[in-house]
Amino acid sequence: MGDECDQYEGRVREICEGKVYDERQTTIWRARRGLPSLTERTPRQPRAVIAPKPPEKKKPLQLGDAVERALTAVGITSERVTAFLGRECGCAERKRKLNDLGEWASSFFAGVHKPIEDIIGPVKKKIDVAVVVTSHNYGKYLTECLMSVENQTQRPAEVIVVDDASDEWDTTKSVAIERGVKYLRVENRSVYRTRKAGLDATSSPFVVFLDADDSIEPTYLADCMVAMNHSEKTAIVTSSMAKFGEATGVISHAETNIEQRNWIHAGSMVRRLAIETTKAFDQSVPGTQSHADWYVWRTILRGGWHARKVNLPLYRYRIHGESMMRTKSGETYYDEASLATEPITLVLPLSGRAQYWPRLKAWVESQSRVTDILVIDTSSDDAFRDDVKTWLMSRDVRSIKYVNMPPSNGLADLDRRGLGNEYRGVQRAMPLIYEHMRSGVTTEFAMIVEDDVLPPTGSIDKLLRSMQPDVAAVSGVVMSRWSDKGHVIAFDDKRRIVNLSESTGGVEPVGGTGFGCLLLRRSAMLAATPFHHGGITGNFDMEFAQCVRKLGWKWLIDWRLPCVHGEGSSSTPTDAK
């Protein structure tokens, strides 16, 4: 019986598995197990109509939020991302960078943590530099300028935009806010005072004054800082310039005498300590001064600081219709070098000729251009010396120096015609007197007036207007007291005495002049050999002038400035003719 049951169960299993179909046996097998018969089918239920699911609305891709979350998770600030993206929206380069960030964010959320530095680069080190961007109606250039600052390999600690009376101030302000930098509005209408406002609004130990229409290469700040750290005496670091815009090319000025020509561009890096100690921004430079940077550099270097140059075109100078290089091309050297505000040392060699002292005092008191006074006194009269000292104490000038030399014993009034003892005595005494100028004069220009000479009104400024980069001295017309033939205390290249009748009526080069009424450049004086008499037949002023001219300088005489010499009256070129 048991075997039959097993056979039955196996048969039914085969039937259920579809190997054999037997309706009767299948029905019995299912009945024994309480299962409904396959032939007793329930009525077919109508198939439910399932409405198609509406397509899911895809949420707009919130790329910015996703990238921000991913960047925040790895500690990246929005400032670094802004510096990486660069430029305004719509730029193809910016879109490419955004795509790179999007791909990185997607991989981040997928669990693949790629180094973000592979995309945006390493953290940029900040250095102790303040970039002061000055702008006057240059809002259209400001974004490019600020982007060049943001893209520095070593970024500045401070950036400020100083807007000087721009008509489009809203544009300038909105760009500054968009780039995340400070904005300051001033009404100076002066690049000199506007830079000072930026200087006062920052505190970093190094400053770069950047014009809003210019820009800088990515390594500019880093390379300048390396040069700055070369020495504690270095106060200014400049570079070559690359022109762009309406013209291209490289501008590279030779490192010459800063007093003659400006070889340091306005966007150079400068040490704040040097600015403060020399008071380079505390002067009365005219409000429309376009060469205020040259004035600042000269002031700093005169204070004993040094300047260095990086010989790479790291500063980008834009050429356009309003750029300084075009607008200032017609200026005179007087304007270019800010000579209207140049300090002047008045040098007074006094030999005790009391009869001329009252008129000389009156002339000095009328000079508003004099900032310093150097008196070299060789008189033998104690009362005269006391009078001079008392008068000096009443002068409202920056500095006063009084040198008391041994008495000259009347040498100044000796008849020095011929080559006798009188002549040689004068020629040996005068170099000792004028050698005191080397240490006593600290300004670039010294106005020398001997005590028996009376210059014309306004002579200092008129002589300054004849100055050029290669001019060492300009003299007024001083007639010889020892000649009645119209001889001027001047000589040509062959050491021949010049006659008044040879005047051109203007300014012309000569071989040299006397020191009676002379505007002398200090840098030329220091470059020349010490004052000397030139031997038995020499002449101290002639020897000095020729030495200076051998160095490449020019010596001029202004025939329009006749001086009174001694008791005589002034003689003009017209009078002589």
Out of 62-66, 328-332, 396-400, 545-549, least confident range: 62-66
**Of 452 and 495, which is predicted with more confidence?**
452
Confidence tier at 573 by pLDDT (50, 70, 90): very low
Q: For residues 315 and 318, give the distance between their C-alpha atoms in angstroms, rounded to a whole number.
A: 10
What are the tens digits of pLDDT across the range 228-265? 999 999 999 999 999 999 999 999 999 999 999 999 99
* Whether the predicted pLDDT of 414 surpasses 60: no
Give the CATH superfamily of 342-576.
Spore Coat Polysaccharide Biosynthesis Protein SpsA; Chain A (3.90.550.10)
Express each pLDDT in 11-37 by its tens digit.
555 555 555 555 666 666 566 666 666
Residue with tokens 């010889």: 480
Task: Annotate 164-229 with DSSP letters as a single string.
Answer: ES-TTHHHHHHHHHHTT-EEEEE----HHHHHHHHHHT---SEEEEEETT-EE-TTHHHHHHHHHT
143-152, 185-194, 500-509: least confidently modelled range: 500-509
Answer whether 126-328 and 342-576 agree in fold.
yes
Mean pLDDT confidence for 387-416: 81
Which CATH architecture is the domain 126-328 placed in?
Answer: Alpha-Beta Complex (3.90)
Q: Residue 287: name the closest of 340, 326, 210, 209 by CA.
A: 340
Q: What is the pLDDT of residue 576?
A: 34
Rounded-to-integer distance, Cα 176 and Cα 168, Å: 13
The structure tokens listed for 522 are 């200090």
Domain ranges in the chain are: 63-120, 126-328, 342-576
Q: What does the buried/exposed string (b/e) look like for 483-493 if buried means 16 or more CB atoms within 10 Å of the residue's CB?
A: eeebbbbbbee
pLDDT tens across 63-102, in order?
Answer: 566 666 666 766 666 666 666 666 555 566 766 777 777 7
Residue 294's pLDDT is what? 93
The predicted model gives 427-437 an average pLDDT of 79
Average pLDDT, the chain: 82
Q: What is the mean pLDDT of residues 207-211?
A: 97
